[in-house]
């Protein structure tokens, strides 16, 4: 086995996918070998950053091979961007190592928090949308970008509650953080739809409040629904096909923002690779119909 980590030989990398390329798919370990055997025509894949924090082994070797054929985005779920704890230096170091070794076109995290006092929920917990939190999160993202030596994107999350302390809608908070921190936005259209249904706002109000220049990626995914006290709550499971309403919202986003790298995300009950590719093709059709460069 070549010593992939120690011999930092420059990789023969494919050109990065541009905004007008077709939709990419979320990379999951069970698809590694099929992706390498078949080399299906998807322009890029998105990997969860923490799934490749290991020093070596089969998954790391597979990602090197996949990266030699596809453009890559690294999507973090564990940095706890909105936490009031100090930034985790070790986590940042491992993320930086992945950026150096896999040279992704995009690096993203979530506009949420998951830890405090050293305890981690390992979930995407909502932030209160206050001036204080906005300033804190923007400062923290600026520090993260300094540590990583590059810009990151932050993604809006699904949520199942709102805080009484919030002083502004989520979209104002998100746009404010991007402006203050100088980061980009990964707009998850499923998360907007889920939050809109759970909290009673219009998804298009959200889209209209986000400056087009900040949006650098779209996510599309599926949700599930539960019933509490006779009221339906949508849960962001990433375990189902994209629903019609979210496809419509994607069409609206293409019209408002133009085309951006778009990803099909699927994290639970992961289907066959071809199901993901078929969803990506649906996104491509909408891009042809509604997108502009």
Partner 1 sequence: MVEPSRLAGGESLRMLQAAFMRALLDPLPEPDSAQGSLLSTCDIVAREIVARGIAPAKRLSIYRKNTETNFAASLRLSFPATYRLVGKDYFRHCARLYQLQRPSCSGDLHHVGEAFAEYLAQLHAHDRYCYIGDIARLEWLCQQSLLAADRSPLDLAKLAAVDLSDYDSLCFLLHPSVRLFSSKFPCQTIWQANTADDNTSENIDLDLASDRGPEYLLIFRDSLGLLLQGLNACEYSFLGNLQRGETFTTAVQAANTESAAFNPSDSLRRWVAMRVIVDFKLMR
Q: Which stretch binds partner 1 (CB under 8 A): 33-41, 82-90, 177-185, 254-262?
A: 82-90
| Rounded-to-integer distance, Cα 70 and Cα 239, Å | 24
Estimate to the nearest angstrom the gap between the alpha carbon of 276 and the chain centroid.
16
Say if residues 43 and 27 touch (Cβ distance below 8 Å): no
One of 9, 30, 229, 244 touching partner 1 (CB under 8 A): 229
The smaller minimum CB distance to partner 1, of residues 21 and 66, is found at 66
Using CB under 8 A as the binding rule, the residues of this chain from 194 to 213 that contact partner 1 are 199-200
Exactly one of 13, 19, 99, 147 binds partner 1 (CB under 8 A); that residue is 147
Instruction: Report if residue 149 touches partner 1, rule: CB under 8 A.
Output: no
- Rounded Cα distance between 260 and 215, Å, is 8
Among 3, 9, 30, 149, binds partner 1 (CB under 8 A): 3
State the binding string over 126-145 for partner 1 (x if CB under 8 A, else -).
Answer: -xx-x-xx-xxx-xx-xxx-
What is the size of the binding site for partner 1 (CB under 8 A)? 72
Site string for partner 1, 230-249 (x = CB under 8 A): -x-x-x--------------
Question: DSSP class of residue 36?
Answer: H
For residues 182 and 117, the answer to whether their CB atoms sit within 8 Å is no
Considering just the CA atoms, what is the radius of gyration of the chain in Å?
Answer: 18
Which of 160, 290 has the CB closer to partner 1? 160
Site for partner 1 in 5-64 (CB under 8 A): 5-6, 50, 53-58, 60-61
As a whole number of angstroms, the distance between CA 266 and CA 277 comes to: 11
Considering the complex, what minimum distance in angstroms separates the CB of residue 169 from partner 1? 13
Q: Which is nearer to partner 1, 20 or 166 (CB)?
A: 166
Give the CA distances from residue 62 to residues 32, 34, 57, 65, 111, in Å, rounded to whole numbers and listed in that order: 6, 11, 9, 5, 29
Which stretch of DSSP H or E encloses residue 285?
helix 273-290
Cβ count within 10 A of residue 293: 7
Cβ-based nearer residue to partner 1, 17 or 111: 111
**Tokens 């909105």 found at:** 82
Closest distance to partner 1 from the beta carbon of 243 (Å): 20
């Amino acid at each position: 086995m070549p010593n992939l980590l120690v011999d930092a030989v420059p990789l023969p990398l494919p050109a990065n996918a541009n905004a007008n390329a077709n939709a990419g798919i979320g990379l999951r370990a069970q698809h590694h070998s099929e992706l390498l055997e078949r080399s299906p025509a998807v322009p890029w894949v998105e990997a969860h950053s923490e799934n490749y924090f290991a020093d070596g082994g089969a998954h790391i070797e597979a990602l090197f091979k996949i990266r030699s054929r596809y453009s890559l985005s690294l999507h973090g779920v564990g940095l706890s961007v909105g936490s009031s704890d100090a930034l985790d230096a070790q986590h940042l170091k491992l993320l930086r190592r992945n950026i150096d070794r896999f040279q992704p076109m995009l690096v993203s995290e979530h506009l949420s928090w998951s830890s405090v006092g050293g305890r981690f929920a390992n979930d995407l917990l909502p932030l209160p949308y206050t001036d204080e939190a906005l300033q804190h999160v923007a400062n923290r993202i600026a520090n993260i970008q300094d540590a990583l030596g590059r810009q990151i994107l932050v993604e809006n999350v699904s949520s199942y509650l709102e805080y009484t302390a919030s002083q502004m809608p989520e979209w104002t908070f998100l746009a404010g953080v991007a402006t203050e921190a100088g980061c980009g936005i990964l707009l998850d259209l499923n998360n907007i739809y889920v939050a809109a249904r759970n909290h009673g706002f219009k998804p298009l109000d959200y889209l209209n409040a986000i400056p087009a220049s900040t949006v650098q990626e779209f996510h599309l995914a599926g949700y599930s629904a539960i019933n509490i006290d006779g009221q339906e709550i949508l849960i962001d499971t990433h375990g189902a096909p994209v629903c019609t309403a979210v496809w419509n919202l994607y069409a609206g986003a293409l019209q408002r923002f133009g085309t951006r790298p778009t990803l099909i995300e699927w994290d639970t009950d992961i289907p066959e690779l071809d199901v993901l590719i078929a969803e990506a093709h649906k996104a491509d059709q909408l891009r042809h119909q509604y997108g502009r460069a």
